[in-house]
A and B are shown apart, each in its own frame.
Chain A
């Protein structure tokens, strides 16, 4: 019944946030690419909260953009609210977050995909991998279409053997009642991939006209919104507010009275859920002494009345969900349009991947997104673009691109996944990064645009603009270093800002180091050149103000890099490395780190083991050199 339906360089299975980035990257890098999805109406769908960004996640979106990806541009076109979070804290943790018009988001991205050269978007459910000599060479769909490829990227999200659970009800389904992908799991397993069962959930959606907003607090967007993409310069999008309310005593009572019906506690759910976004029933049981929990009401788009009830993720039965909703101030008469649910799905144990996101057991097969044990659109998209880049580079016979932990949150996330694995759905947090001060929101372009350009995802025009920004920032720092400021020029200003007046003259750069002094204040005394943009000024200010801390972290990175550069040969047999502890042998054999740096992060590997490994590598290199000569 099968037929040969096409021959591609890269096939991407799944058109969610990971799949879209992967397919776009591969196609833009010149590879003939096929993007397969179970349902064409679900491209770039947001099955959970209609928002993108926030701490760490927003950083990832900026990074995707700097590499030439789509998520940043797409949300800039379709946001209905934009807020910069953490503005009261240091520059490293400023984080942009957008509410999306989830329908616009999908449609705009689908159109971009449809218009991208080399990219074919097609509806079809992949059911089987074609593996020849340990190498994935294509897939077969449910309808018997056989697509051949040189590399394949699997981004199935929560569709793999998906199962929706709600109270006593349980049925096989993908998110939002889509068809699940049942047979692909078996094919992955058959070819040697180990799978685990994870769980996530989503809250109910309610009708806007049945909400009493007077009982809630308004949460508006920023007056002067910033953007995710370095390409976006302005926007005319109208902003809609979100609304804040809280659970009540009645809410907690309803939940406690119905715990016997909660699948979380009745044992119906076998998958491991994320610790960081527990369901409301989980929160109330684990934090019993907390009298109330925040609930945000978020619009799902301009042309819909559906509101997302953030904070109320639940898998309680439908009748209990309604009771819970109506116990919340402002929602007393609410109409529930869709119920919340928990969903279980298969994920790949991510330590089975190389840092390029290619699987170790099946050559030319890559996985990205929720299938790798993560959670979140941004985490998925960040892996998606890397998998797409590396799948394309493999086709082109080039070395994979692996971002370091000091280069980006994407690097931190992938290194965590492939080196340590994860026991529950992985969410990025800024605290997962050792070098938070280097991985800032504002410098994502400085960190990654050169890489995006090198691999061909950043246009000449954009790169030239980037270089100009970089040069101007550097020149401005030098300019400030050279300008002398006299006490009488600035002392009034300093006193007004609550900082000590100066007794001797100093240079403008030193003055800007003071926590209380801003670039804007300095400009009143020492005007900047007219072509400096706000973005450049911000960059100058941050680089100067935090120079000491940044320098400290750079030194740590330099040390780390020495270990990262010590490559471990592919053919190392850990069981034969004399002196390694047996736990270290097992763990290292499993993860097969590429460098000594990565080895140092494998759990169970002690400093003594690393020493031994280092000595072994030296020994190995000398023997190899001796053989060569």
Chain B
């Protein structure tokens, strides 16, 4: 129980602001050190110190978030174990991303309800008098978690996971029968069959993980960046979308300097708008910071609204952006259609053949419905029926799905290497158990049931 390392977001998740991810357990320091880029190696850091750096996804090497990391070595910590707290300031999405990276670390898992407190108690940090309070905490939180899980279990997600588990368990039963009844006339287990079953399960997991992304979108909004050279109407577009005057709108190029975030709902499609300073080279230091941030924001965006001016021919900066945004999820917004036509639309179409084009007049508030349609097409294949989608929403589910996927691809790899089936079974079983954890099912006996219902065995 107290052998693994647990992690959870320990502050209430709000929009923006600072959130803390708390990690506790034997691998807390070493694990975090693997994903934390900083001037110093966390492993060598002294207890009770704070360090600035970045969380990096070890799989891709990509910087996930700029963070402050606090280190408290046991027993001088809340749980009396090694504790690391990651302070992230980037709002909901960034924090979840960080947690996602943390949970991919080996030996790490999501904390159970009340588990930090429980560990604190077990390690003697909390007074005996508080024991009952701890129990109540575990009970009430688990019951709540249980009822949530129950609701999900009745839903479409659980159906999908069950189907997935069925694929894996059929494979397992097949392997087991080959092992336990070697003389029985059941079909010989082949590596081709292992690859096929694992492969189809992987495809299904990938599909679920993709809907996980859609689920995230519905919950957290499509991160949308509005880009374009100065004064094509970016802030005006944002204002129309938000119906408020949050960004400074002027005719002077470069007046919008910072990244401003806004949540809006475009007919049920949640957008998380990032307005950006005009992207262009500048010598102004203050402005350069703004430009820098815009570029970063661009990297993270799920959707880029690239605004062009209908009333002017393509400028060098426009062409540069066209080239830069080539492989990104872009919708081209041609603004100012209320003014005379000057823009070479054919050139735009040619350089970005996949990007939908929407014509608008932001000032005249025309063409918004077209934008809506384009976004909906792009993210929901035109069918946004929130109640109907199978969404894998929570970080725990996502990390378990990823773990199952990893086990399945390990099984395929082992099979390709000619590893014997009883050893491959270890990976397949791990996948099955990870999937089972999502449902909270008990593993064990149902495999035996499967073997006897799938195969005719006897003496």
Contact residues of A with B, CB < 8 Å?
Answer: 48-49, 54-56, 85-86, 88-93, 95, 203, 275-280, 282-283, 286-287, 290, 293-294, 296, 310-311, 313, 420, 429-432, 436-437, 515-516, 546, 549, 552-553, 558-559, 562-563, 578-579, 596, 603, 606-608, 610-612, 614-616, 618-619, 622-623
Contacts and interface: CB of A to CB of B under 8 A. Distances in A.
Nearest to B139: A579
Contacts of A614: 1, 118, 122
A596 B122 CA distance: 14
B456 interface: yes
A194 B453 CA distance: 29
B22 to A, nearest CB: 18
B457 interface: yes
B178 interface: yes
Contacts of A294: 183-185
B442 interface: yes
Contact of B452 (A85, A276, A623): A276
A622 B128 contact: yes
A596 B1 CA distance: 10
B368 interface: no
A375 to B, nearest CB: 10
B456 A286 contact: yes
Contacts of B456: 278, 283, 286-287, 290, 293
B182 A85 contact: yes
B377 interface: no
B180 A610 contact: no
A36 B71 CA distance: 68
Contacts, number: 148
Interface in B401-427: 417-423, 425-426
A276 B136 contact: no
Contacts of A431: 172, 176, 179-180, 447-448, 451
Interface in B182-196: 182-185
Contact of A420 (B2, B128, B445, B457): B445
A615 B458 contact: no
B139 A90 contact: no
A310 B418 CA distance: 34
Nearest to A83: B183
B447 to A, nearest CB: 6
Given A89-B179, A558-B3, 20 more contacts: A55-B180, A90-B421, A277-B457, A279-B458, A293-B456, A296-B183, A420-B445, A430-B422, A431-B176, A516-B418, A559-B4, A562-B1, A562-B3, A606-B142, A608-B146, A611-B1, A611-B114, A611-B115, A612-B138, A619-B128
A420 B442 CA distance: 13
A579 B448 contact: no
Given A432-B448, A622-B128, A608 B142 contact: yes
A549 B128 contact: no
Query: What 6 A-B pairs have minimum CB-CB distances, sorted nearest first?
Result: A90-B420, A608-B142, A579-B135, A287-B456, A431-B176, A277-B459
A55 B135 contact: no
A603 B448 contact: no
Contacts of B135: 578-579, 612, 615-616
Contacts of A612: 135, 138-139
A596 B3 CA distance: 14
Contacts of A95: 182
B1 A563 contact: yes
5 contacts: A89-B182, A95-B182, A277-B459, A437-B422, A610-B1
A86 B139 contact: no
A559 B3 contact: yes
Given A311-B458, A431-B176, A615 B420 contact: no
A86 B182 contact: yes
Nearest to B421: A89
A313 B146 CA distance: 46
Interface of B: 1-4, 112-115, 118, 121-122, 128, 131-132, 134-136, 138-139, 142-143, 146, 172, 176, 178-185, 417-423, 425-426, 442, 445, 447-448, 451-452, 456-459
Nearest to A95: B182
A608 B3 contact: no
A42 B176 CA distance: 35
B179 A546 contact: no
A90 B448 contact: no
A203 B122 CA distance: 58
Given A429-B448, A615-B122, A85 B457 contact: no
B458 A611 contact: no
Given A89-B421, A615-B138, A275 B452 contact: yes
A343 B373 CA distance: 72
Count chain A CB atoms within 10 A of each CB in B180, B182, B425 and give the residue with the most.
B180
A283 B118 CA distance: 52
Nearest to B443: A434
A549 B423 contact: yes
B269 to A, nearest CB: 38
A90 B423 contact: yes
Contacts of B115: 611
A606 B142 CA distance: 10
Contact of B134 (A92, A420, A615): A615
A88 B421 CA distance: 9
B179 A86 contact: yes
A608 B138 contact: yes
B139 A619 contact: no
B459 A48 contact: yes
Nearest to A86: B182
B428 to A, nearest CB: 12
Contacts of A622: 128
Contacts of B172: 431
Contacts of A55: 179-182
A619 B131 contact: yes
Contacts of A90: 419-423
A242 B332 CA distance: 77
Contacts of B457: 276-278
Given A562-B3, A608-B139, A310 B422 contact: no
Given A276-B458, A277-B458, A420-B445, A515 B418 contact: yes
Contacts of A283: 456, 458
Contacts of B185: 294
B75 to A, nearest CB: 16
A172 B183 CA distance: 35
A357 to B, nearest CB: 22
A607 B458 contact: no
Nearest to B419: A515
Given A432-B448, A515-B417, A310 B184 contact: no
B112 A546 contact: no
A93 B179 contact: yes
Contacts of A623: 128
Count chain B CB atoms within 10 A of each CB in A596, A615, A618 and give the residue with the most.
A615
Given A579-B138, A615-B131, A549 B452 contact: no
A49 B458 CA distance: 12
B371 to A, nearest CB: 48
A615 B121 contact: yes
A549 B447 CA distance: 22
A524 B29 CA distance: 48
Nearest to B426: A549
Contacts of B452: 275-276
Contacts of A85: 182-183
A515 B418 CA distance: 7
Given A579-B138, A608-B142, A437 B426 contact: yes
Contacts of B422: 89-90, 92-93, 430, 436-437
A614 B452 CA distance: 36
B459 A313 contact: yes
B459 A310 contact: yes
A278 B138 contact: no
Contacts of B420: 88-91
Contacts of B180: 55-56, 429-431
Nearest to A552: B426
Contacts of A615: 118, 121-122, 131, 134-135, 138
